[in-house]
Amino acid sequence: KGIKVAVLDTGTDPTGFQGPYLGGKSSMEGQPIPWDENGHGTHVETTISGRPFPTPWGQIRGVAIDADVAAFKVLGGGLGFGTMSAILRGIADAVEFGADIVSLSLGGDDEDYKTSPYHRIISGLTKGGMLFIIAAGNSGPNANTIGSPGSCPDALTVGAVSYPGGEIASFSSRGPTLNGLIKPDVVAPGVDILSSTATASLIDNMQFMDGPRLAAISGTSMSTPSVSGLCALALQYARIKGKILTTDHIKEACDLYGEFAGAKRNDYGWGLITYPLLKKYI
């Protein structure tokens, strides 16, 4: 409770049965309303904070159901394409919203972070205490496939593993980055993740076998919101304890207590991030 999460994606379905949501904004030219015609954004949003909902496969619920989540549409056109300018505008809208956490299940080709507008804005806002949780990308299994802005040093970059089992997903992008950074930082479940999607959206139609307004899909886009919800829980716990939790603190916790503590890898990072791991550090 009391933690604000901004989801920069394809928008949201305000009629979704795992709501309610706080609305949001659109920075997409020609699409002033943040309606989700793709379904990706709603799936991400409900993974973070979706209210409990019964399905034929059991109850689904988001990781942090009491978080205050708002959707900022930075991708559109049905297929979910976007521009850097729209994404940067979305980050500015997230700042105006007062976001504690910005969740970005998106990315493009890697670039030199030293000259990247993404890095400049993410670095500055991270120093101010915001957490940027960003997908590694789905261009694995080869090395040097981390996308941007996930390649930014100040991002908490998320790869995908299967669950149960914990095997790295073949599609999950691997480091090192163009600038030689070891990425991703952490991994989370990202294979066949069942969540709700937008009404009559592209993904809803493509995954109709999962049921109306439901979809079981895979990607680092699916593991990223899991980590965003987890960090929302940890941030609330830290505030209750009268402490501050920054991106550097989260990375230090993983380096101390992660599966690959002190030995970060270019596939798993420090390994699976969990609430007990962060609670132990806090």
Q: What angle do CA 141, 115, 182 make, to 5 degrees?
A: 35
Q: How far from 81 is each of 28, 141, 174, CA to CA, in Å?
A: 10, 23, 23
Strands 193-196 and 214-217: antiparallel
Residues 119/113, Cβ–Cβ less than 8 Å: yes
What is residue 21's predicted lDDT score, i.e. its pLDDT?
79
Instruction: Report the catalytic residues.
Output: 9, 40, 221
What is residue 133's predicted lDDT score, i.e. its pLDDT?
98
The tens place of each residue's pLDDT in the chain, 282 residues long, gives: 999 999 999 999 988 889 877 878 999 999 999 999 999 999 999 999 999 999 999 999 999 999 999 999 999 988 999 999 999 999 999 999 999 999 999 999 999 999 999 999 999 999 999 999 999 999 999 999 999 999 999 999 999 999 989 999 999 999 999 999 999 999 999 999 999 999 999 999 999 999 999 999 999 999 999 999 999 999 999 999 999 999 999 999 999 999 999 999 999 999 999 999 999 999
Q: What's the token pair of residue 256? A: 């101390």
Residues 142/109, Cβ–Cβ less than 8 Å: no
What is residue 77's predicted lDDT score, i.e. its pLDDT?
86
What is residue 140's predicted lDDT score, i.e. its pLDDT?
98
Residues 107/183, Cβ–Cβ less than 8 Å: no
Residues 130/104, Cβ–Cβ less than 8 Å: no
What is residue 16's predicted lDDT score, i.e. its pLDDT?
86
Q: How far from 168 is each of 100, 173, 220, CA to CA, in Å?
A: 29, 10, 11
What is residue 22's predicted lDDT score, i.e. its pLDDT?
84
Residues in the chain: 282
- Report which of 43, 48, 8 is spatially closest to residue 27, judged by C-alpha positions: 8
Whole-structure pTM value: 0.97
* 182 residue type, one letter: I
Strands 58-60 and 68-73: unpaired
* 61 residue type, one letter: R
